[in-house]
Amino acid sequence: MKNPRLLTLHALAVFSFLYLPIAVLILYSFNGQGVGGFPPHDLTVNWYRILFNDGPIWDSVLNSLLVAAAAMLIALVFGIPAALALDRAQFPGKALFRRLVLLPLILPGIITGLSLLMLFRVADMKLSLLTITLGHGTALISVATTEVFAGLQKLNRAQEEASLDLGATYWQTFWRITVPNLKLSIIGAALLIFTLSMDEIAVSFFLIGRDNTLPLEIWGRLRRGITPEINAISTIIFMFSLIAIIFWYRLRTKSELSREIAAGLADAANEC
Amino acid sequence: MATMMEQGVSNKTEPAATSLLSIRNVAKHFGKNIVLRDISLEIAEGEFLTILGESGSGKTTLLRILAGFEQPTAGEVWMTGERLDTQPPYRRRVNTVFQHYALFPHMTVEQNVGYGLAIAKRPTAEIESRVAEALAKVKMSAYAKSKPSKISGGQQQRIALARALVNRPRLLLLDEPLSALDANLRRQMQVELKALQREVGITFIFVTHDQEEAMVMSDRIALLRSGELEQVASPREIYNRPATSYTAQFIGHTNLLHAEVRQGIATSGALQWPISLTDGPALFSLRPECIRLIPSSSVVSNSSPASNNAVRFRATIRDQAFHGATDLLRVETDAGLMLTIRTASHNLPNSSSNSDIEFEFSTGDAVAVRRSEDRR
């Protein structure tokens, strides 16, 4: 692999393998001839017009947004204290807990979905958006816990001691020092949970009631035949994801940049 | 245990006029690891005390007990008649300058310094004026609006100091605050810190592993070794009258002489000098600069008697290292004893005559020291 041209070619191939399907998806959302046919003919925004007048799709988008927002809240509320416990508290079985908390991430969605379904059956709960929300929320606690735990590991504990030393109680220290330092991890976890919930199918499939989430709505329509309208809604989702990724990336690089500057200055101070 | 109990009970009646802080029989165990054992120390109001020790000697643990981040396994800490070790860190009138400063990265310099006052809910006007005053004192007023990441290590150091002092603590703890600075800046900060301490009159407890730093800054040095206090004394006394062989070797350089005392005479190899000690083996510390080289011109005759309290001996120079104003010599006496001698560079004889040179030291400079046993 010494040949740089071969390497470039290889990179291009991987890149196109990853992104060509998305490009095709976007392109065909403007295809006047419906799905199929190459090259696309009669470029049009007609599919978008149809999409915007499609009530059920927008109902499912709204459902998905609601579920994602609520699941995010649940995961954070339970995940952050779990991360704090992992980082600070000493309790029997801590090592086991640390691994178990990761399990839902590794477990196939089918298992999680099926077990939640059985749980709700036992609890005699009617399947609805609520059960999906609870399902997503619990399954994604592990994401919140791992992200925030990673942030806590990077946090300089001396800062918290300095705060206590300066007269702040443990609670004041948590809000004034710990949380601001974890801001990035928490936002990162929130974005990740939101996105994962938005496109989750396996767990949702088991827990769905009367109202569809967007992925299930799309999946249902595909069974009746594919139309460029699906391409159009997918394109819009893709754009939103892109914006979220860019937002997150900029936030992260900004903070890492300032951390790098700090480290650089400390080194310089040591040298001169 | 009985003495500990008595001390605890009788505390309120003890005079607290001169002693600000009283550390009583403090011990700290981490599981089976004994980090501190039976530390007792009185610290006077306005004193600059340095806790000196190698890494692992327990000095930082002792400081953390005073700050409230660790609980002593046994013993008590009292501050002016109040029990300190049972208080949480935020209720102690003790502030700390941390080793790596621990400034809050999400706050400006000004907010960092004002943090303690804001927590104490002081009026805004008071916070502003006291923060400005504290920043002026450490010459950092120009950086009030900067973030800590934008200032240098030395500047961060000053901010950490201002952030602690602005709260007017009874006691300021400093955990190796200069260790991250380069040598020149460190020397400058040593002088500034000492001057600042005299100016504000706050009691400083300073932790370091650097014996030179301890000598320069302290009123008293508490030398910690493997969790026990080896000696507590002023820098001069600890240097001139080390109590143990460990102290003598840790503070500055020294020659340890293993001697045998018989009827008021100590004998170590070819060296003999009078000493008022009981018979038996003894250990002496003889500082390299206490040994004088006798210029060959003055050795007119061997019969010229040394003064009564001086010991003369002949030795060969084996090694010589230039240290600026002084030279360090490694010499070997006729009996094969190796000694280190510090002498002014211009005193040295011509390099051709390195053997059979005469030296002397005053008998009072050979200080009898206790042998430091291995503790670990």
Q: Which residue from B119, B147, B148 is facing A166, i.e. has the nearest CB?
A: B119
Q: Judge whether A271 lies within some domain.
A: no
CATH architecture observed for domain B2-246: 3-Layer(aba) Sandwich (3.40)
Whole-number pLDDT of residue B245 = 92
Least Cα distance to B208 among B64, B59, B39 occurs for: B59
State the pairing for strand pair B82-83/B74-79: antiparallel
Q: Name every chain B residue with its beta carbon within 8 A of the beta carbon of A187.
A: none
Whole-number pLDDT of residue A212 = 86
Query: Do residues A67 and A137 both lie within one domain?
Result: yes
Query: Do residues A31 and A144 both lie within one domain?
Result: no
- Binning pLDDT at 50, 70 and 90, where does residue B210 land? very high
Q: Judge whether A270 lies within some domain.
A: no
Least Cα distance to A32 among A238, A221, A219, A227 occurs for: A227
Min distance A156 CA to chain B CA atoms (Å): 8
User: What are the C-alpha distances in Å from B231 to residues A136, A147, B166, B374?
Assistant: 64, 49, 33, 16
Domain range summary for chain B, segments of one domain joined by +:
2-246, 253-295+307-369
Q: Whole domain around residue A18: which residue ranges?
A: 1-44
Q: Name every chain B residue with its beta carbon within 8 A of the beta carbon of A165.
A: 67-68, 89-90, 94-96, 164
Give B138-150 as a DSSP string: TT-GGGTTS-GGG
Query: Do residues A212 and A94 both lie within one domain?
Result: yes
Q: Name every chain B residue with its beta carbon within 8 A of the beta carbon of A161.
A: 67, 69, 89, 96, 98, 102
**Residue A72 clears pLDDT 50, i.e. is over it:** yes
Q: How much is the average pLDDT of A4-19?
A: 89
The proportion of chain B whose per-residue pLDDT surpasses 70, expressed as a percent, equals: 89
Whole-number pLDDT of residue A203 = 87
State the pairing for strand pair B280-286/B228-233: unpaired
**Residue B122 clears pLDDT 90, i.e. is over it:** yes
Residues near B75 by Cβ (< 8 Å), separated by ≥ 6? B4, B23, B24, B25, B26, B27, B38, B39, B40, B85
Give B106-157 as a DSSP string: TS-HHHHHHHHHHHTT--HHHHHHHHHHHHHHTT-GGGTTS-GGGS-HHHHH
Query: Do residues A107 and A20 both lie within one domain?
Result: no
Residues near B91 by Cβ (< 8 Å), separated by ≥ 6? none
Query: Do residues A98 and A227 both lie within one domain?
Result: yes
Query: Do residues A35 and A99 both lie within one domain?
Result: no
Q: Does A158 touch chain B (CB under 8 A)?
A: yes
Q: Judge whether A49 lies within some domain.
A: no
Whole-number pLDDT of residue B302 = 47
Is B151 close to A161, i.e. CB distance below 8 A?
no
Whole-number pLDDT of residue B5 = 40
- How many structural domains comprise chain A? 2
Condensed to tens digits (0 to 9), the pLDDT of residues B317-360 reads: 888 888 888 888 898 887 888 899 998 876 666 655 677 788 88
What is the ipTM, given to two decimal places? 0.81
Query: Do residues A25 and A74 both lie within one domain?
Result: no
Q: Which residue from A158, A172, A265 is facing B100, i.e. has the nearest CB?
A: A158
CATH number of the domain encompassing residue A256 = 1.10.3720.10
Query: Do residues A11 and A112 both lie within one domain?
Result: no
Is B102 close to A271, i.e. CB distance below 8 A?
no
Q: How much is the average pLDDT of A166-174?
A: 94
Which CATH number applies to B253-295+307-369?
2.40.50.140
Query: Do residues A80 and A180 both lie within one domain?
Result: yes
- Whether the CB-CB separation of B304 and B295 falls below 8 Å is answered with no
Residues from B contacting A (CB-CB < 8 Å) are 67-69, 88-90, 94-96, 98-100, 102-106, 115-116, 119-120, 147-154, 163-164, 167, 180-182, 185
Q: Judge whether A89 lies within some domain.
A: yes
Mean confidence (pLDDT) of chain B? 86
Other CB atoms within 10 Å distance of the CB of residue A32: 14
Q: Judge whether A200 lies within some domain.
A: yes
- Whether the CB-CB separation of A265 and B151 falls below 8 Å is answered with yes
Query: Do residues A99 and A128 both lie within one domain?
Result: yes
Query: Do residues A112 and A199 both lie within one domain?
Result: yes
Whole-number pLDDT of residue B10 = 39
Query: Do residues A30 and A125 both lie within one domain?
Result: no
Which of B63, B69, B90 to probe by mutation at the A interface, max A CB count within 10 Å? B90
Is B105 close to A262, i.e. CB distance below 8 A?
yes
Is B167 close to A167, i.e. CB distance below 8 A?
yes
Whole-number pLDDT of residue B349 = 62
Is A161 close to B69, i.e. CB distance below 8 A?
yes
Q: Name every chain A residue with its beta carbon within 8 A of the beta carbon of B94.
A: 165
**Residue B242 clears pLDDT 90, i.e. is over it:** yes
Q: Which helix (H) or strand (E) holds B64?
A: helix B59-67
Question: If you ran DSSP here, which 8-state letter would residue B1 be given?
Answer: -
Is B148 close to A167, i.e. CB distance below 8 A?
no
Q: How much is the average pLDDT of B103-119?
A: 94
**Residue B229 clears pLDDT 60, i.e. is over it:** yes
